[in-house]
Structure 1
């Protein structure tokens, strides 16, 4: 686990500048660093750098950039790599590559050997989380590669025939000649979604490499493709369905056990996040079964009882016999992290659960360097409450079309009768776009986000859902969440929160074989009309008594409304002041200043809005906080 950055450029970027870019990510890799520049062809120079968090082979043999040895009829030093992440099946690959003269016991060298033997298609054989930059001197090609589900981040900047890349935006911003030109067209979507999804970023000419993506850069020309695509893989796996529930349960259980075991291989202390919910409890139970010693587990408790689930986590830990650590946090402890958000989330990011994620990461880092998590269970096995609502919305779609048609009749049009309807009825009634069926939302909320940034360009919702060619709204939305919400929000949140404390988070449910097998299962194995995550729960009950897990999830919610209208009020008023907005030139100064003032007084979006708008105002606040950190100070 680490951070990488570099460039392919005809410009004059010095080794000192490259080291400066690299050191902006010290928190991602405090154990070692390396930076090198190579002379390429056609006037190009290639710079590779890495900050290392030592997990496998703690010796100097794991130092990066790493170069190839002579093998497979190829001269040595012809391939160089910097790499962030873990290749969990590197041991198996190493056996297949036994002719290579390995010097280390780390997965980075396996990447090099695999590329020399199989070319860039070697990534099809890799199971892990990774962001890779590879330079082939023979062909003068540079490849950027990101793992299948987007566990590890990778940004790139393309301008004037040059390429600059990094695990975060900070090294790009530190690159000589970088211009911080904000993309207004992504902001309405950000306010609505709370994050900016790949391939977009907050800056002009800067992109995120998409999950499962490859970028090839050769003499100023860029080619991109996806070696693993959610929609294509789903339909391919559906051709081999598993019809028997018990068979599916047994196979899935075996795959999860294998995924956990491979993620427990580390030369540093390892533990597990434990919330007491199904996913983290199941991962912890399998880890404990696989360990000769009590697994170190970590949970956060909150003083407000309606949010606190620490007692449930403690009960599971006691039952499994783990070495459990918990810490109780008050509101002041959470609030103190607000100022650090833009430093570590160096792109606007407004999922407020980043705060408890940072807290549990800090707690775990006191005792371990690697932590297992249960991320991915909701998206791949139908766990969100929203999926219940979507099933209902699909059943009511015909009635919604009828209501919409009636409201559009002559004589009723313009009467604004829809404003008198309940918010949920209006959402179903106005959900008429066949391309966006699973993204049902209160119309007023959507309009508000768009009004903040008029003419922002991108629709707040994602256009790709109809491309999955799936009729069932639940399945369609699960695939969309795998493409957007999971990598753009959940995995980004965990990556930045854990790496803030130099902690590596590993997610067994997001193992390649587990993900692909989940696509072979009938949807009824995940949701039978009443129970969500049916098959995962059944496996969990093999390890933990049902009564410990079957409970209503309390969830956790940062008191955004209280903070925004309380301790953050003064800075929010400054950020939304009409003169400030006018000088900033990003938002609609009249609309936003009025809206925020009304929110501070009433806590809503105005008469008849029927909704609390703290999420949009919080997203606006976090953008302004980010702006103050990276733009205004410049």
Structure 2
């Protein structure tokens, strides 16, 4: 696990500058660093740098940038690479590449050997999480590659015929010639979604490499393509369904066991996040099955008993016999992390669950360097409550169409009639765009997000649902979430929160073979008669008694309203004041200033304020925090 950065440029960028860029990511790799600059053709210079968090082969043989071995014939020093992540099947690949003179025991060298044998198509053979940059001196090609589901981040800045890349935006911001020009067209979507999804970023001409994507830079020309795509893989796997539940369960269990075992290979201490829910409990149980010693597990509890689930995690840990550590957090402990958010989430990011994720990462890092997590279970096995609602809404869609038609009849006083309709009925009636069917939302909420951004920019939602060619709304939304919410929010949140403390998080459910096999499993094995994660739960019950897991999830919520109208009240007022907004020139000054003041004054008493809109106000606040940190610094 590391941070990488570099450039392909005709500009004069010194090694000193490259080191400054690299060191902005010290937290991603405190164990080692390396920076090198090479002379390419046509006046290009190529800079590669990496900050290393040592996980495999802790010796200097794992130092990066890494080059192809001088003893390997014509490939002498042909390839160099900087890489962030883990290739979990590297030992199997190493056996296929036995003609290469390996010097280390790390997976980075396996990537080089695989590229020399199979070219860039070697990526298809890798099972892991990774973001890498590879320079082939013989062809003068530079490749940027991101793993299939987007576990590891990689952004790039295009400036004419120059390319700058990095695991985070901080190195790009330190590159000579970069101007921090904010993209106003992403603001409304950010306020609504609370994150900015690939390929977009907050800055003009800066993009995120998409999950499963390769970028090729050759003499100023850029080409990108997907080597793994959710919709394509889903339909391919659907052609060979598994129709027997017992068979599906047995094979999925085997694949999960294999995925966990491969993620327990490390030369540093390893543990597991344990919330007491199905996903983390199952991953921990399988890990304990693979370990001769008690697995170190970590959970946090909250003094507010409405959200505290630490007792459930402790009960699971005791049953499994893990070496369990828990810490109780009060509101002040959470609040103290608010100021650090923009420093580590160097793009606006407003999912407030980042705070408890940072807390459990800090707790785990006291004892381990690697932690297993249960991320991906909800998206691939139908776990969110929203999926329940979608099943209901799809059944009401025809009725919603009829209401929409009635509202459009001439002579009706539409505005007056709409006000009398419940919000849920209006939302279903207005849900007529076939590209947005599963992204149902009260129209007024969308209007507020757009109004904050002065009505400019892209749709707040993702108008792309036809790409999945799926009639079942639950399945369609699950696929959309795999493409957007999972990599853009969940995995970004965990990456930044864990790397803040130099901790590597590994996700067995997001194993390539597990993901692809999940697409062969009928949806009724995942959701039936209101039961979500049916097949995953069945596997979990093989390890842990049903009564320990089968309970209503409390969920966790940061007290945003209380904070925004309490200790953050004055700074929120400063950020939303007309003088500040006019000078900033980004948001709709009059609307935002009036809306925020109403939010502060009305509390949760009015339909246009309080809890109904705290998420948008929080997203606005975190954006202004980020702005103060990176633009007004």
1:359 corresponding residue in structure 2: 359
2-structure distance, mates of 1:227, 1:631: 36
1-structure distance, mates of 2:7, 2:414: 57
2:615 corresponding residue in structure 1: 615
TM-superposed deviation, 1:55: 0.1
Q: Is the 8 A contact 1:161 1:221 kept in 2?
A: yes
SS in 1 for 2:271: strand
Show CA shifts across 1:172-197 (max 9, x none): 00111110000000000000000000
| Equivalences for residues 147-186 of structure 1 within 5 A | 147-186=147-186
| Equivalences for residues 538-549 of structure 1 within 5 A | 538-549=538-549
Q: Is the 8 A contact 1:188 1:450 kept in 2?
A: yes
Question: How does the TM-score come out when normalised to structure 2?
Answer: 0.99
1-structure distance, mates of 2:604, 2:467: 36
TM-superposed deviation, 1:406: 1.1
Question: 2:73 aligned with 1:98, yes or no?
Answer: no
1:318 corresponding residue in structure 2: 318
Unaligned runs of 5+ in 1: none
Deviant stretches of 4+, over 4 Å: 70-73, 604-611
2-structure distance, mates of 1:563, 1:102: 55
1:499 corresponding residue in structure 2: 499
Q: Is the 8 A contact 1:605 1:612 kept in 2?
A: no
Q: Is the 8 A contact 1:605 1:611 kept in 2?
A: no
1:158/1:521 Cα in 2 relative to 1: closer, same or farther (>3 Å)? same
2-structure distance, mates of 1:456, 1:608: 21
1-structure distance, mates of 2:98, 2:436: 50
Question: How does the TM-score come out when normalised to structure 1?
Answer: 0.99
TM-superposed deviation, 1:71: 6.9
1:49 corresponding residue in structure 2: 49
1-structure distance, mates of 2:7, 2:33: 16
TM-superposed deviation, 1:339: 0.1
| Equivalences for residues 57-68 of structure 1 within 5 A | 57-68=57-68
Q: Is the 8 A contact 2:599 2:610 kept in 1?
A: no
Q: Is the 8 A contact 2:141 2:216 kept in 1?
A: yes
1:369 corresponding residue in structure 2: 369
2:109 corresponding residue in structure 1: 109
2:551 corresponding residue in structure 1: 551
Show CA shifts across 1:155-177 (max 9, x none): 00001200000000000001111
1-structure distance, mates of 2:31, 2:378: 34
SS in 2 for 1:593: helix
TM-superposed deviation, 1:479: 0.2
2:233 corresponding residue in structure 1: 233
Q: Is the 8 A contact 2:83 2:131 kept in 1?
A: yes
TM-superposed deviation, 1:531: 0.3
2-structure distance, mates of 1:142, 1:103: 24
| Equivalences for residues 116-131 of structure 1 within 5 A | 116-131=116-131
| Equivalences for residues 504-519 of structure 1 within 5 A | 504-519=504-519
1-structure distance, mates of 2:238, 2:465: 18
2:296 corresponding residue in structure 1: 296
Show CA shifts across 1:520-570 (max 9, x none): 000000001320000000000000000000000000000000000000000
Q: Is the 8 A contact 1:438 1:476 kept in 2?
A: yes
1-structure distance, mates of 2:557, 2:453: 27
2-structure distance, mates of 1:512, 1:56: 21
| Equivalences for residues 27-426 of structure 1 within 5 A | 27-70=27-70, 74-426=74-426
RMSD over aligned CA atoms reads: 1.1
2-structure distance, mates of 1:420, 1:414: 10
2:565 corresponding residue in structure 1: 565
| Equivalences for residues 5-24 of structure 1 within 5 A | 5-24=5-24
1-structure distance, mates of 2:394, 2:50: 48
Q: Is the 8 A contact 2:279 2:375 kept in 1?
A: yes
1:273/1:608 Cα in 2 relative to 1: closer, same or farther (>3 Å)? closer
Unaligned runs of 5+ in 2: none
1:229/1:71 Cα in 2 relative to 1: closer, same or farther (>3 Å)? farther
1-structure distance, mates of 2:420, 2:569: 32
Q: Is the 8 A contact 2:374 2:509 kept in 1?
A: yes
Show CA shifts across 1:505-533 (max 9, x none): 00000000000000000000000132000
2:537 corresponding residue in structure 1: 537
Show CA shifts across 1:559-613 (max 9, x none): 0000000000000000000111011000000000000001111135955779610
| Equivalences for residues 597-608 of structure 1 within 5 A | 597-603=597-603
1-structure distance, mates of 2:343, 2:330: 23
2-structure distance, mates of 1:610, 1:75: 63
SS in 2 for 1:301: strand
Q: Is the 8 A contact 1:135 1:141 kept in 2?
A: yes
2-structure distance, mates of 1:609, 1:405: 30
TM-superposed deviation, 1:138: 0.5
2-structure distance, mates of 1:626, 1:422: 37
2-structure distance, mates of 1:17, 1:176: 8
1-structure distance, mates of 2:274, 2:77: 44
SS in 1 for 2:163: strand
Question: 2:580 aligned with 1:580, yes or no?
Answer: yes
Q: Is the 8 A contact 1:598 1:606 kept in 2?
A: no
1:485 corresponding residue in structure 2: 485
Q: Is the 8 A contact 2:603 2:610 kept in 1?
A: no
1:39/1:571 Cα in 2 relative to 1: closer, same or farther (>3 Å)? same
1:621/1:610 Cα in 2 relative to 1: closer, same or farther (>3 Å)? closer
Show CA shifts across 1:196-248 (max 9, x none): 00000000000000000000001111000000000000000001100000000
TM-superposed deviation, 1:72: 6.8
TM-superposed deviation, 1:455: 3.7
1:590/1:106 Cα in 2 relative to 1: closer, same or farther (>3 Å)? same
SS in 2 for 1:463: coil
1:462 corresponding residue in structure 2: 462
2-structure distance, mates of 1:551, 1:570: 40
1-structure distance, mates of 2:403, 2:77: 69
2-structure distance, mates of 1:602, 1:265: 54
Q: Is the 8 A contact 1:604 1:613 kept in 2?
A: no
TM-superposed deviation, 1:264: 0.1
TM-superposed deviation, 1:92: 0.3
Q: Is the 8 A contact 1:595 1:605 kept in 2?
A: no
